[in-house]
Chains A and B, each alone.
Chain A
């Protein structure tokens, strides 16, 4: 087991190194393609192992990581000085100071430093199945007018290794190192094009994420000082008064909120769109931002029912709704996707923070589906950008004629993000039904409002974008099927088939994959059952015929237009006999932009409330 986990972590690093050094097309391409089955197989082997597993590591690894910490912070300092960013420098120095304090305070602890449970295994699996195809996509993407293909692909694969390491760390000090390594990876990738905009945005990502690093260190200090434990497993088994550890957990939650790009710290994730599109794909789907719900899931059994969890629910729920509303005002396709990620990350963390078995089920399910759907959508955004030169939604007009296949995939990705019977919908459904039980205890009604409103806003967002792209005047005969590169098609079809398969077999998927994960986290029975492919949750059932019916309707809506030709007379639109508009815009929701700053301020206030009241600092 230990060697498998080590292999899963080290292998991407080695592959990345080979690609980086050899710099040959054939090596890069084939090695990347080979990574997919290899990593998938390894994560499968880990998955079938008995869980959970605690793995001892040699002593020198710990020392190495401490050394590496300093090196990393030194590099941040260097970046800050080189680019003349006072915030980056200040935060890096602060972290060096705090890290030194932590190292002075820390006491030797025999708990193993690597902890692999079902949640970790699931994320390994997502990294392999969702993350690696993005690297494959990147091998082709970077051949379009981009430089340094090999370096880029190497960084992506390395990032996957870092992510694998981060989710298996048990020692919070190690987790800090890896948290900051993911920051480093995102900074390198966002600044990859090295022009001014790229550097600016990478520095933005750097200082914002460093706040998360500072928060982890502060949390670590609080934990060590109050109770002397600094491992996730020790925290979970902690028996004493919760008040002793709640401050540390409050700081950890703050770091999760920052990493999860929750408002007002969402700008860095938006900034990632200046980088080549695979960067966005990898940041949004399998890696980086998923650390945020992962971290909340880890601590959710402890914070369940505390004020901290309630404040987290309020904060993330607020972001869920507001990010969806702000997304309506955007006109850049990648920005829209970014906002919807921010929004759904809010939902994942909200569900994780509630901490009941069903809520955690919803959270994990949304993590899985969001990874697939967002990877898919960003890959398609990359195709649009490189093959069809479309970046803004206004340029998406008549996409149905110009890029039918890509539009079909985008359509499907959007459907998977919000509509029945896909996983995100199931997640929301479970959330609402779960929250309904709490109305008798307290005021969870806000949560239901959040979920109901947020999902409505996300639906109209997607419908708005789709509406623009299907607009056309006359028959469907002008459809041009552009031949796309094989690797693009492979990746698209890969995601499509995965999403479709999981959706059809959602009941067994929930019972056999999600529920063990939830049991690993919270160790209590989960009322989810599979009755001949119908999904039963408590008394409610999502029947198999409903799943298939909805899928058939949606398949007809998103794929059939290319194949159905009615034998009827073709006429011009009636349009009341007026001239056809040459150009039609859509609602741009400017009224929301006016209040955006207020919303940000309110989100900041919620942030502070989380740490002050939730962390019990008063």
Chain B
């Protein structure tokens, strides 16, 4: 029951997270920030706008991005295998990239290509992350992780550390907001969307929040309070990082992921495998 609710209301929940994030970020910059419901006000405003599009393919891909993202989250929650959910996430990226590549706009195309760079940075980490959970519980089912007696975050500290540094890549936060890069390529893949079609892309990102924070929550194991604490910690940490760092080159992002994060996770996995 709670699973169905979670999947059904994922976009709304994500909207609240996003609203909260805007407030948090504003407070960090000594501003008051928008009201909590601001994302939803934006949502209604966008829905109300005159629908304009470059062409149907582009608009459709925006909607498919949203659908695929939601479906990936449903696969994560209803399915019994984390790894499959990770692979389903690629479908959403596919829709976004195809859509962004399909318009004659330098910013959009560049954003799409950079989105691919994002993917090779975080995709292997996600795979390794699921394997980390597998090593603890001998199962790829997240329900087993939620019943796990130990403290995953203590047994997979390096994985957790690497994962929270990967989150900026997945959620387009500084220093790894390479694909969106508002001051540089003006939103990248989303630049050519407008009105209701933009709203689809916009809402898809809210689901992405829930998707990512769900993985963070899993690090708490059967201790839900710990999971919630970790989510809160990660949330604040990400925003702090976003506020205090400048954007890096995409090459640096890929290098950081492959030279630093992946070896770190690998080390943790090997150690835990040997220890067990």
From A425, A443, A471, give the contact of B103 (CB < 8 A): A471
Q: Which of A71-79, A167-175, A190-198, A432-440 contacts B (4 or more CB under 8 A)?
A: A432-440
Chain B residues with CB under 8 A of A546? 75, 79, 84, 88
A453 to chain B, nearest CB (A): 5
Complex-state Cα separation, A540 to B107, whole angstroms: 41
Complex-state Cα separation, A473 to B55, whole angstroms: 8
**Interchain CB contact under 8 A, A539 and B141:** yes
From B71, B94, B112, B273, give the contact of A440 (CB < 8 A): B273
Interface residues on B, range: 35 or more
**Interchain CB contact under 8 A, B127 and A432:** yes
**Interchain CB contact under 8 A, B135 and A439:** yes
Please give me the residue from chain A that is nearest to B196 by CB atom: A568
**Interchain CB contact under 8 A, B120 and A436:** no
B198 to chain A, nearest CB (A): 11
Is B30 in the interface zone, CB < 8 Å from A? no
Chain B residues with CB under 8 A of A472? 55, 57, 102-104
**Interchain CB contact under 8 A, A568 and B53:** yes
Interface string of B79-104 (1 = CB under 8 A from A): 11101100110110111011011111
Is A573 in the interface zone, CB < 8 Å from B? yes
A320 to chain B, nearest CB (A): 13
A-B contacts at CB below 8 angstroms, number: 215
A574 to chain B, nearest CB (A): 6
Please give me the residue from chain B that is nearest to A429 by CB atom: B83
Q: Which of A93-101, A350-358, A577-585 contacts B (4 or more CB under 8 A)?
A: A577-585
Chain A residues with CB under 8 A of B90? 419-420, 459
Chain A residues with CB under 8 A of B105? 573-575, 580
Chain A residues with CB under 8 A of B20? none
Interface of chain B, main secondary structure: helix
Is B186 in the interface zone, CB < 8 Å from A? yes
Chain B residues with CB under 8 A of A470? 57, 98, 101-102
A410 to chain B, nearest CB (A): 13
Complex-state Cα separation, A578 to B57, whole angstroms: 23
Is A475 in the interface zone, CB < 8 Å from B? yes
Is B259 in the interface zone, CB < 8 Å from A? no
Is B119 in the interface zone, CB < 8 Å from A? yes
Is B52 in the interface zone, CB < 8 Å from A? yes
**Interchain CB contact under 8 A, B94 and A463:** yes
Q: List 11 A-B contacts (CB under 8 A).
A: A420-B90, A429-B83, A433-B140, A452-B123, A470-B98, A539-B141, A546-B75, A572-B54, A574-B191, A575-B104, A575-B191
Instruction: Give B residues with C-beta under 8 Å from A.
Output: 50-57, 59-61, 64, 67-68, 71, 74-75, 78-81, 83-84, 87-88, 90-91, 93-95, 97-98, 100-109, 112-113, 116-117, 119-120, 123-124, 127-128, 131, 134-135, 139-141, 186, 191-192, 194-195, 197, 262, 266, 269-270, 273, 276
